[in-house]
Amino acid sequence: MQEQTTRLGLPYILPSQAQKHVPHNEALETLDALVQLVLATIGNIAPATPEDGACYGIGASPSGPWSARAGMIARWSGGAWQFIQPRKGWLAWCADENRLYVHDGGAWTRFTHIGPLQTLGVNTTPDETNRLALASDACLLTHDGGDHRLKINKADEGDTASVVFQSDWAGQAELGLAGNNDFSIKVAIGSGGWVTALAIGNTGHVATPLRPAAHAWANVAPTAMAVGSLSGFTDTEFATGGFALGTPLPSGIGSTLVVPTSAYYLVCVGAMPASTSPITVDVIVNGTKMVVGTGYHSGTPANRRICASGIVPLAEGDWLALHHQGNAVIDFGFNKTDLSIIALT
């Protein structure tokens, strides 16, 4: 007949055994130690004054009364140490660390988890879309002695790998690979859509498709402008970033060009006299402030284009027009008398 249980090695009470209470009580003592197992600590040195009934996990290099007992359980009972050999998979709570340990068959190791986690929530509840969720004032991802890289991997080129920034659970900005392999920065607009503020392709070219810029002119016949009068614009070759034609001017020649956002702008003005008479053409802001101008020019020879440029701070909603001095006939049109402007900041 087998004298011990298979898993815990507890003694059976045998038919012919004397003092049957002795092995029975030993078995109860072992069960008392192992059921809901709590280790006061895990280490290599036996405590000087252990509490009766307390259990300890023995480390990998024990000494003293625990010598040659690496990985075992030491139980202090009745003034003596009792040693129990754990088996692979036994769990124990380490009281001084507030951690769960598992025995790997040779030593006690910190318990992490069994297999991959389907979801994980830290101070919040994850779901099937957000399988990893964290609620905290901050989170830290740091190195382990060298480099540290955060990797976001997508399946195909048409998929998205990005970081979205929200306010009150509404997206406000996004950066990453959004639907292609170009790195982009996008922002939300008031209508609920998204626009690309910056895009970097695989050539390294940095594109700013919404940078405010325009090339504008008036598509009218050559005109002798009255001194102090304003001309505007009827056509644009391009107008990006919100540049648009505004209010028609009293001269009847074109409309204002309205600034979409506050920035420093590079402004270039060109003027072409169609007669040999004096001419001055200035870019005027809001009808009051001249910012870039050709200066006085004799108009000789006729049909020779004169240009000027400068960097100008402009505010959202400012409007631009051309201010005229002199009595030369002005030849309006594309690459004749026109305005080019682009935001620098």
Whether pLDDT at 24 is above 80: no
Residue 302 has a pLDDT of 82
Mean pLDDT of the chain: 91
The amino acid that residue 223 corresponds to is T
* Total structural domains within the chain: 3
The CA distances from residue 63 to 43, 59, 79, 87, 103, in Å, are 10, 10, 19, 22, 20
Q: Which one has a higher pLDDT value, 4 or 198?
A: 198
The amino acid that residue 258 corresponds to is V
Residue 251, both tokens? 């001269």
Whether residue 106 is found in the same domain as residue 64: yes
Phi, psi dihedral angles at 342 (to 5 degrees): -150, 140
**79 SS3 class:** coil
Query: Cα(321)–Cα(148) distance, rounded to whole angstroms?
Result: 54
**162 SS3 class:** strand
The CA distances from residue 246 to 115, 257, 264, 320, in Å, are 65, 6, 20, 9
CA angle, 308 then 311 then 315, to 5°: 120
The CA distances from residue 76 to 66, 90, 135, 148, 265, in Å, are 12, 20, 44, 47, 83
Whether pLDDT at 1 is above 60: no
Whether residue 330 is found in the same domain as residue 294: yes
Domain assignment present for residue 18? The answer is no
Residue with tokens 């304003």: 230
Query: Cα(235)–Cα(332) distance, rounded to whole angstroms?
Result: 11
Domain assignment present for residue 16? The answer is no
Whether residue 157 is found in the same domain as residue 179: yes
Neighbours of 161 (CB within 10 A): 13
Domain assignment present for residue 54? The answer is yes
Neighbours of 246 (CB within 10 A): 16
Pairing of strands 132-134, 306-314: unpaired
**21 SS3 class:** helix
Whether residue 193 is found in the same domain as residue 98: no
Torsion of CA 310, 282, 305, 326, to 10 degrees: -150
Residue 302, both tokens? 């006729």
Which strands make up the sheet holding 38-39, listed edge to edge?
Answer: 38-39, 91-94, 99-103, 108-110
Q: What is the CATH number of the domain that holds 286?
A: 2.60.120.40
Whether pLDDT at 32 is above 70: no
Phi, psi dihedral angles at 202 (to 5 degrees): -75, -5
Whether residue 338 is found in the same domain as residue 225: yes
pLDDT tens sequence across 188-213: 987 778 999 999 999 999 999 999 99
Domain assignment present for residue 266? The answer is yes
Residues pairing with 311 in the sheet: 266
Residue 4 has a pLDDT of 59
Last residue of a domain, one of 174, 209, 244: 209
Q: Which domain holds residue 332?
A: 213-343
Query: Cα(279)–Cα(42) distance, rounded to whole angstroms?
Result: 94
Residues pairing with 75 in the sheet: 55, 82
Last residue of a domain, one of 110, 133, 167: 110
Query: Cα(63)–Cα(65) distance, rounded to whole angstroms?
Result: 6
Q: Whole-model pTM?
A: 0.66
Query: Cα(139)–Cα(132) distance, rounded to whole angstroms?
Result: 13
Residue 298 has a pLDDT of 86
Out of 1-10, 26-35, 77-86, 320-329, which region has the weakest mean confidence (pLDDT)? Answer: 1-10
Length of the chain: 345
DSSP 66: G
What percent of the chain has pLDDT above 90? 77
pLDDT tens sequence across 255-313: 999 999 999 999 999 999 999 889 999 999 999 999 999 999 887 888 889 999 999 99
Whether residue 269 is found in the same domain as residue 309: yes
pLDDT tens sequence across 106-138: 999 999 877 788 899 999 999 999 999 999 999
Pairing of strands 235-240, 160-167: unpaired
**Do residues 102 and 86 lie in contact, with contact meaning Cβ atoms separated by under 8 Å?**
no
Whether pLDDT at 12 is above 90: no
